[in-house]
Amino acid sequence: MDSEIQSHAFCAAQLRSELNRVKVLLTVFAIFLVLIVLRAVISLVQGYRGEAWPFAALLAVATGYEAAWLRFVRPAVSSGKEVSNTTWAASILAESLLPTVALVLQAHTTFVGPSRALTSPVALIYFVFIVLSTLHLDTRLSRAAGAFSAAGYVAASIYVFVAFPEVAAGQALLVYSTCVSYAALLLVGGFAAGKVAQEIRLHVVAALREAEAQAKVAALEHDLDVARSIQQGLLPKEPPHLDGFDIAGWNKPADATGGDYFDWQQLGDGRLAVTIADVTGHGIGAALGMAVCRAYERSALASEKDPQVLLERLSQLLYEDLPSEKFVTLATGLLNPSEANLDLISAGHGPLIFYSAAEDRFQTYDSQGPPLGLLPRMRYGGAQKLEFATGDMLVFVTDGFIEWANAQDEDFGQQRLEDVIRAHRDKPSAAIISELHTALVKFTGGAPQPDDLTAVVVKRL
C-alpha cells in the first residue's frame, strides 16, 4: 500500500493540495495585512506611537515567505517533482514562528502587554496552521505542526516569564498551568489533525486508485474496439459472385471480439472454399485463435487440394500453437459452381444442414473427426459430396444459434432453425440469415447473448 501511496499520482495530489493551502494563507495574510496597516495609519493620525507597525512588518515577512513557498510548489506540481520530508518539516517550522514572534511582540505593546499576551487571540493562529496542516495529507506533518506550535508557545511563554517576572507574581500556579494547558491543547490538536489528515489521505488514495482503474478500463475498451475493428476487417466484405449460386455470411460476437469466423476463398482450380469456424470461448483469447486459424487455413488452401489432408495439417499446426484448453471446430465446403456440387468436410463442427427443395426435407451431416488442435497427428475421414439442385441450400451455423436459451432455459434448437429456413426458403441467402437471427432474438426474449453467432448460407439459384 505504501508504494501505491507514494506514487507520482499521489505526490501530484499532495502538491496540489499544498498549493491550495498556501493560496488560502496568502489570502488571509493579505486581508490582515491591509487591516493592520490601516490601523497603524489611523493610530499615527490620532497621535499614538503606532504599535501596529511591527506586526505589519511581521505579517509582510510571513506573506513574502508564503509567496516564495508558492513559487517553489507550483513548478513542482507541473514537473511532478517530489518534495522531501525534511523540506516539508522545515516549512511547517517556519510557519509556526509567525504566532510565536507575534506573541513576543504583543508583550511589549501597551494595548495588550505581557500579562495578556499569552492568552490573546493571536495564540489561535497556531490552530489555524494546525488545521490547514491536514492539507499536507500526511499524519506526521500534522503532528509536527502541533509539536512545533506547542514548542513555539512554550518558548514565547518562557520569554515573557523571564523578561516580565511580574506576570506570574502572586498567581504563579494559575499562570503556569494556563500556559501548560495551551501548549498541551496545541500538541493534542496536532495529533487530532494528524488523524484527519490520515482519513483525507485514504480518501485521496482511493480516488486516485479509482481514477487509475477507470483509465485502465477506458484503455482496455479502446483496445477492444481496435481489436474488434481488426477482427471484423478479417471477415469478407462482400459475398462471392458465382453464376448459379447465392452465398451470404454473417457474424455477431457476444463480446467486443469473438472466436467465430466465416470466410470464402477463390482457389486456383475454379472452386470456392467456404468456411465457418468456432474457437472455444469468446473474447480476446478466442479472437487471437480465430486469426491464427484463418491465416493457417488460407495459406494451406492455396496449396492443398485434398480437404482431408488440409484438416490434418491444420490440426497439427493449431495443436502446437494453441493452449491446451483451446481448440477449433471448423467446416469447409469446396464448391464447384460449374458442376453444382460441393465437397464438405468438418472437424467437430455442427450442425451442417442441407435443405433439398425438391423433396422439402433436411439432411444433417456428421463431422469427419474431432475439433482442430485437440490432439496431435489426428486422422480425418474423407469429404462428403453434395449435389445442388435448384433451390437447394447448405446452411452452416455455430452453436450460438442452437444453444441460446430463453427464460425457461429452453434452447432454440435445430428444429426451430430448420422451421425458419423452410418458412423463408424462397428468400435470398442474406435474408434467410436475417430471419434466423430475428427468430432467435424473439424466442430468447431479449436474454443476453451468451455466445458468438455466425451463419453462412450457400444456395443454388
Say if CB 189 and CB 132 are below 8 A apart.
Answer: no
End-to-end Cα separation, the chain, in angstroms: 68
What is residue 82's predicted lDDT score, i.e. its pLDDT?
A: 79
Considering the entire predicted model, what is its pTM?
Answer: 0.63
Q: Which one, of 60, 67, 196, 58, lies nearest residue 132 by Cα? A: 196
Low-confidence ranges of the chain (pLDDT < 50): 1-5
Angle at 291 between CA 250 and CA 283, to 5 degrees: 75
| Residue 251 host element (H or E) | strand 245-252
Distance CA 49, CA 45 (A): 10
In sequence order, the 6+-apart residues with CB closer than 8 A to the CB of 328 are 277, 278, 279, 280, 289, 293, 318, 322, 347, 371, 372, 373
* Whole-angstrom distance, CA of residue 136 vs CA of residue 204: 12
* pLDDT for res 78: 77
DSSP state at residue 434: H
**Cell reading at 350:** 455442427
Are the C-beta atoms of 153 and 179 separated by less than 8 Å? yes
Q: In this predicted structure, what is the pLDDT of residue 4?
A: 47
Following CA atoms 293, 296, 301, 307 in sequence, which dihedral angle do they give, to the nearest 10 degrees? -60
Report yes or no: 152 and 99 within 8 Å, Cβ to Cβ: yes
DSSP single-letter state for residue 48: -
In this predicted structure, what is the pLDDT of residue 316? 93
All cell numbers assigned to 28: 488571509
Which helix (H) or strand (E) is 346 found in, with range?
strand 341-347
Task: Report the distance separating Cα 122 and Cα 226, nearest Å.
Answer: 63
Q: Are 167 and 161 in contact (CB under 8 A)?
A: yes
What is the Cα–Cα distance from 43 to 389, expressed in whole angstroms? 114
pLDDT, tens digit, 9 for 90 and up, residues 160-193: 999 998 887 777 888 889 899 999 999 999 999 9
Amino acid of residue 111: F
Sole residue written with cell 418458412: 423
The CA distance from 313 to 318, in Å, is 9
pLDDT at 222: 78
Q: For residues 294 and 53, give the distance between their C-alpha atoms in angstroms, rounded to a whole number.
A: 86
Whole-angstrom Cα distance, residue 267 to residue 303?
9
pLDDT at residue 345, as a whole number: 94
Residue 2: predicted pLDDT: 47
pLDDT at 281: 76
Residue among 199, 174, 82, 186 at smallest CA distance from 143: 186
Backbone angles phi, psi at 344, to 5 degrees: -110, 130
Would you put residue 409 in left (φ > 0), alpha (ψ -120 to 50) or beta?
left
> To the nearest whole number, what is the mean pLDDT of the chain?
88
SS3 273: strand
**Predicted local distance difference test score (pLDDT) of residue 83:** 82
